[in-house]
Structure 1
Amino acid sequence: MGRPGIVLSSSFVSSTDEKFQKYIEYLDRDEATRNKAFEKYNIVAYTEFNDYMENPAKSSGLFSATEDYLGEQKADEMKTLFAEAQKKQSTLWQDVFSFDNAFLVEEGLYDSRTGELDERKIQQAVRVAMEDKFQKENLAGQGIWTASIHYNTDNIHVHVASVEMENTKPRVYREIKTFNKGTQRYEGTGKFDWQNKGRVKQKTLDTMKSKFANTLIDRNTSLAKIHEISRTHLLKNTVNLSTDDLYLCQLYKDLLKTLPHNRKDWQYNKKEMSPFRKQVNQITDYYLKEKNPQAFEELVQALDSEEEKRLRIYGGGSSKEETEIPQDDMVQHARNVTETNHYKDNKLQELYERAGNKILRELKMMSQDDRKELFRLADLPKSKRKMDAGAWHPPNPFKKQLFNEKMILRNMKKFERAIVGERDQMMHEHQYEQLQQQIYYSQANNRGR
């Protein structure tokens, strides 16, 4: 698996660490000075794929949650806030969003010839990701951050630094570690101090990366297409029992004969359904691959495309790749395994679950007469079966299907009897009213005489 399009790495230091102070010192310096002093205040020594952080060739100006560019006054205000946070023993977090530049070119976010980058879009993606981080790590309302985009030859990346105005993290007495360039590892210094527990939850990092990617790259059209094909064209319009198809009747009959006695167990994912799930899937296969193969093939192609895109963005998340990533307690990396691993298979499994439950609901709702008719149709000799040779059309989901001509006639006769009965009753009532009127007028005439 190739390099992911986006990588997120994160680290932190306590308020007593010299890198915290160095970051404050360089907050209000000009861009060139910050670039030269980058290694002095940088915390994330490397990203997920061993991209070791060095002084950037150039960087954008600082930006924040509310400002696209921090001028001298705004930068000085931010410096003051970071200094106050340090005095109150805040943790300093640094998050690095790193890109494969080829990926940025593919998505139309970067022109490698001119060096032009869609900074506004990247800034907005950072804001969405940081808002999510603050919510999940209980920093909302008191967390602040500032960031800048660094332009390196191979991997453009965004450095985000954040603090909380009142420290909420527990403190522990432990050894101070620094990054050794020679061994390319974090190593103990032999010095101990009280330090904050600043590690971010893995789920937070994973969600941050997802939010960042989804803001940067609009996948709504692709996902809407998958939803439309799966839920409407296949589930709603295709998975419907039609008694014109006697082979389908046979499949339903065979399943009905083997299902558990208790109808409450007729749910696809219940353990009691495990012995019968293969039969349910056989019916779903028939619906998808025989009744509406064009829509099913279109869904498979859409899922292949979406899975390929997700692998490009997030990487494969395989165990082999994870063993190649440096592991220590200082630098964390977003994983996003659930975003990529078996995406297509998971979506198809979800479709089969929904279709299976719909099939089981159809069987649950059958009356005794419906079942008898289903069995009768399924048992017809092949010579008497009249299969529809024309193109199959999904039945109207809003119309109640009647099982056969006899049932249609039976219902028509009931309807006719109901109409006749109501008509006769109305005639009797009308005649009764006429008779009452005649009696009334007759009595009136007699009194008048």
Structure 2
Amino acid sequence: MSSPGIILTSKYSLPNSKDFTHFINYLTREKALLKEEKLTATEKIELQRIQTGKDNLFQQAGQTELSVSKKDKPKSMLQQEAEHLLNDDFDFNNLQQMDFTKMVSYMARSYALQKKPRKTPAEELEIRRLDQAMDQIVANNPSKDADQSNILNGVFDRDKDFISVANLDEVKDKFLQAQQNGSVMYQDVVSFDNQFLRKNGLLDDQNNLNEVRLKEASKKMMETMFQEEDLRKTGYWFASIHRNTQHVHIHFATVESQNTRKIVQQGDYLEPKGKRRQATLDKMKGAFTHNLLDHSQQLQRISELRNDLVQEVKKDLQDPKTQKVMQLTRELVQTLPPDQRYWNYGAVAGDNPVKKAISPEARKLLDELTTELVADNPKYQDYLKLIKSESKFAQTVYGKSKRDSKDYAKNKALDLQKRLGNSVLKELKVMEKQKTMYIKSLNEQEKQNEKFKKRQINHHDSFKKTNYLYQRKTYRKSPVPHFTPYWARKLDRVLSNEVEHQRNQYFYERMQQASQHDISY
């Protein structure tokens, strides 16, 4: 298998542990003294002694650790070359091969030596050799433009795309201040396979390198590091593009004006915690690559397809098109826990553990359901093709990693599976809520109907009772007549009239009959 197109090799250097412990003690006492409004003569002497002691610290090197993965064996030539750059000592007699990064630390060393009131003959000789090295590095960086002859080729920092010899004192002071304050020094080397650079239009047949794109990608990488490691307020970095080896490299050095790293106990001494998280290094490399090669459109398309599938799976669940979807949905709902707070897909590779999640059995059914829902969706097929393509691209850039967490296609497939699962669970929550509300509405309606029926019965009973009582009341209130002579005469008159009427009616009918008889004859 061919070597990766880009690798990132890193290390960090700690200040001397013993000196750093003294530095912390000095700093604590200095702050306490400076808070006092008035100092005694003894305290003034102590403060001066502390400040002098701080300036004389960190003359000896501390611990250095190379931050490379021990799993990636055997090491490629590209990686061996990068590690050699990080570990190579300063060589006065071979300045052409010397990395500019190491020169800055020696400028800081020269500055520290010159501050000493008394110097040994060996220190005087070291200062002279350092001054000669400074002159040599300017001579080794000629420029076609005479007005810009002081520009150091391929050297840039956090604030400038070009560093001149006139800027070296400023750079030197920043590193000296960081050294005096016990800062960790981070060094990173981004190394390239030259064939990879040519394939992506970064190196032509005349070995002309597109430094502009390399610098832009470098700045993006360091912005990512500063954000991840919280160095934006105190951090400073500079870099140099190194071409004097078989491959092109970019060498970075980073320090802090004030140490903000966590202080840890190592044996009898204190020291800042220098090691960066692997996630930080991965993000740095990813930021560099994505900016340099600009795969943003393809990555954006992958994100768009993923988001579309997450939304469409809800609609497909609401309107199932196959009997299998309906069956799996019923089985899943029966398997889910009663407490909907646990309706969560759970963690996949690389995620933090989730306490509240569905059971493995429910998760298996959920995966079957989501797979069935998106099986015939063209966007799902496009998504799979794109992540496989991007995975192949990542292997050409970084090489094939042995870590499962670096398998792009597998991780993206798991991520989609998780998102689809949570989308389905969320929709099931909505459907269950609607079902609960519907049942509650039916129950309420049933209660209302029962109340209405009861009210009707009560109203009917009440009406009957009221009518009965009214009739009783009316009957009781009617006066009982008394049979008096007045009522006797009235009754006699009515009866006489009725008898007369009946008699007249009788004679009338006889006359009618007689008349009809005469006519018939």
Whether the TM-score (by the shorter chain) exceeds 0.5 is: yes
For 1:132, the equivalent position in structure 2 comes to 224
User: What's the CA shift for 1:338?
Assistant: 4.4
For 2:398, the equivalent position in structure 1 comes to 314
For 1:278, the equivalent position in structure 2 comes to 364
User: What's the CA shift for 1:133?
Assistant: 2.7
Q: Are 2:171 and 1:93 equivalent residues in the alignment?
A: no
For residues 204 and 244 of structure 1, the distance between their equivalents in structure 2, rounded to whole angstroms, comes to: 44
User: What's the CA shift for 1:130?
Assistant: 2.1
User: What's the CA shift for 1:302?
Assistant: 0.7
For residues 235 and 336 of structure 2, the distance between their equivalents in structure 1, rounded to whole angstroms, comes to: 56
Q: Are 2:96 and 1:35 equivalent residues in the alignment?
A: yes
Pair 147,296 (structure 1): closer, same or farther in 2 beyond 3 Å: same
Contact 1:6 1:97 in 2 (8 A): yes
For residues 89 and 305 of structure 1, the distance between their equivalents in structure 2, rounded to whole angstroms, comes to: 46
Which stretch of structure 1 is more off in the superposition, 226-235 or 355-364? 355-364
Q: Are 2:221 and 1:145 equivalent residues in the alignment?
A: no
After the TM superposition, list the runs of 4 or more consecutive aligned residues in structure 1 that deviate by more than 6 angstroms: 171-174, 193-196, 368-371
For residues 252 and 37 of structure 1, the distance between their equivalents in structure 2, rounded to whole angstroms, comes to: 66
For residues 167 and 243 of structure 1, the distance between their equivalents in structure 2, rounded to whole angstroms, comes to: 60
Give deviations 1:59-88, integer Å, cap 9, x for gaps: 933111121111221233222332343344
For 2:288, the equivalent position in structure 1 comes to 212
1:258 aligned residue (313, 334, 349): 334
For residues 373 and 102 of structure 2, the distance between their equivalents in structure 1, rounded to whole angstroms, comes to: 61
User: What's the CA shift for 1:171?
Assistant: 8.9
2:59 aligned residue (16, 25, 44): 16
For residues 197 and 216 of structure 1, the distance between their equivalents in structure 2, rounded to whole angstroms, comes to: 31
User: What's the CA shift for 1:289?
Assistant: 1.4
Counting helix residues as a fraction of each chain, which structure ranks higher? 2
Pair 5,360 (structure 1): closer, same or farther in 2 beyond 3 Å: farther
For residues 40 and 267 of structure 1, the distance between their equivalents in structure 2, rounded to whole angstroms, comes to: 50
Contact 1:316 1:337 in 2 (8 A): no
Aligned length: 312
TM-score (structure 1 length as normaliser): 0.57
TM-score (structure 2 length as normaliser): 0.50
2:301 aligned residue (207, 218, 225): 225
Pair 172,250 (structure 1): closer, same or farther in 2 beyond 3 Å: closer
For 1:430, the equivalent position in structure 2 comes to none
Q: Secondary structure at the match of 1:11?
A: strand
The runs of 5 or more residues in structure 1 that have no matched partner are 20-31, 44-56, 175-192, 320-335, 372-449
Q: Secondary structure at the match of 1:317?
A: coil
In the TM superposition, what are the counterparts of 1:46-85 in structure 2 within 5 Å?
60-85=153-178
Q: Secondary structure at the match of 1:93?
A: strand
Per chain length, whose mean CA-contact separation is higher, i.e. which structure has more relative contact order (CA < 8 Å, sep 6+)?
1
Contact 1:307 1:340 in 2 (8 A): yes
User: What's the CA shift for 1:300?
Assistant: 0.8
For 1:364, the equivalent position in structure 2 comes to 432
Bigger Cα Rg: 2
User: What's the CA shift for 1:278?
Assistant: 3.1
Contact 1:239 1:358 in 2 (8 A): no
